[in-house]
Amino acid sequence: MRPASFRSEQWMTKYEHQAKTNLTDSSAESMTFEQLAKMEPDLLKDLVLDYGTIEGDLRLRKEILSFYKDRNPATLALMHGCSEANMMILQMLLSENDHVITFTPGYQQFSEIPRQMGCDVTLVSLNESDWTYDLDAFEKAIRPETRLVILNNPSNPTGAWLSGEQMERFISICRKHDLWVLNDEVYLYPDPSHPSMADQYEKAIVTSSISKVLGLPGLRLGWIKGPESVIRDVVLARDYSLISTGPVADRLALIALRHREAIRQPIQEIIDENIRKINGWLKKHPDFSWVSPANGHLGFLKYGGKLPSEELAAGLIEKSGILFVPGSCFDKDGYLRIGLGFRHPDLEERLDDLEAYLQKSMSKR
């Protein structure tokens, strides 16, 4: 199984170190190690650097479980980040010739890995006008051999957010056809008004981490929340790969989750402020538009004209040090992915730079 290049990740790896203004990062402002450790210095005392508790520090697991209504420890397995959690589920659940449904524009892992495994993948397009889910098209795509539905809610790159009645209808369709769902909730900060799908559908396997919602990808700590039968298999499979997430990641994540409201609040404020600024800027720049994201860290900025997004994004970073992942990395040209988790006092000016660069490039063609 040789992978195709993960385009958005490779784009970031290639360009992020020359970015003066990174307007596309999917994470959020990160604390330093010292800031985090200082919140509970006692928790790093006498921490032995052995494998730790193989299934993960129980205190950490309880903190994670407090995001959910069902707090049974047998419904949770720790992983190194959410991507690894997704990979584990894809490799465990899928076999050659299985049928998989996922949504586009979406995260490349969800289509690419099943394809590499010899699955047949149906991509259902989100409604471009508002990034809602086309649930009629979804139901039509279901076949007897459909093994798994994969989504990312809220979504990377569009910010699409399936909730309320739409979510209820989505679940009732899945239930009717007895479908497994892998829902990557890495951009969801679950609370009673934004509950996890794990608490709504009995065949939902939810993955998440503290990388995005708390801005702490540096700990590489994620998890799988799902039915006991699935978690039992994951726990067996972990012995062949990660073994344990280790006491350093476990302990630092425990500190972060104990103080999550304090860590979350400034990030939420940054996201809200960025959305306000962008909506204000867009009113004055009708050649650009987006669906203002109702949840998550990301939005998909549409620009006027026919300049390929890769050409636009590559030129912009070279010329002005402003980094965007182009829509082409998500098979959707005419867009740029915009990240909302970082403080940008000069956000409007940099969007002005984008517009100026775009106009100049268009006039040259």
Residues that bind its own copies (CB under 8 A): 1-6, 9-10, 12-13, 27, 30-34, 36, 44-52, 54-55, 80-81, 83-84, 87, 91-92, 95-96, 109, 112-113, 211, 215-220, 233, 236-237, 239-249, 251-252
Report the length, in residues, of the chain.
365
Q: Which is nearer to its own copies, 1 or 286 (CB)?
A: 1
Tokens 């980040």 sit on residue: 81
Q: Which is nearer to its own copies, 218 or 304 (CB)?
A: 218
Q: Which is nearer to its own copies, 135 or 248 (CB)?
A: 248
Specify which residues 326 forms β-bridges with: 336
Q: Smallest gap, in angstroms, from Cβ of residue 50 to its own copies? A: 4
Sign of torsion over alpha carbons 138, 202, 78, 115: negative
Q: Smallest gap, in angstroms, from Cβ of residue 148 to its own copies? A: 14
Q: Which is nearer to its own copies, 78 or 351 (CB)?
A: 78
CB 15 within 8 A of CB 233: no
Q: Smallest gap, in angstroms, from Cβ of residue 92 to its own copies? A: 6
The 3-state DSSP class for residue 339 equals: strand
Q: Smallest gap, in angstroms, from Cβ of residue 219 to its own copies? A: 6
Cis, peptide link before residue 345, omega less than 30° from 0: no
Q: Smallest gap, in angstroms, from Cβ of residue 149 to its own copies? A: 19
CB 207 within 8 A of CB 201: no
Residue 96, class by beta-carbon neighbours within 10 Å (0-12 exposed, 13-18 middle, 19+ buried)?
Answer: exposed
Tokens 């726990």 sit on residue: 235
Q: Smallest gap, in angstroms, from Cβ of residue 313 to its own copies? A: 18
Of 246, 199, 204, the closest CA to residue 221 belongs to 246
DSSP codes of every residue in 239-274: TTTTS---HHHHHHHHHHHHTHHHHHHHHHHHHHHH
Q: Smallest gap, in angstroms, from Cβ of residue 251 to its own copies? A: 8
Run of H or E residues at 101: strand 99-104
Q: Which is nearer to its own copies, 91 or 104 (CB)?
A: 91
Q: Which is nearer to its own copies, 246 or 334 (CB)?
A: 246
Q: Which is nearer to its own copies, 67 or 342 (CB)?
A: 342
CB 247 within 8 A of CB 52: yes
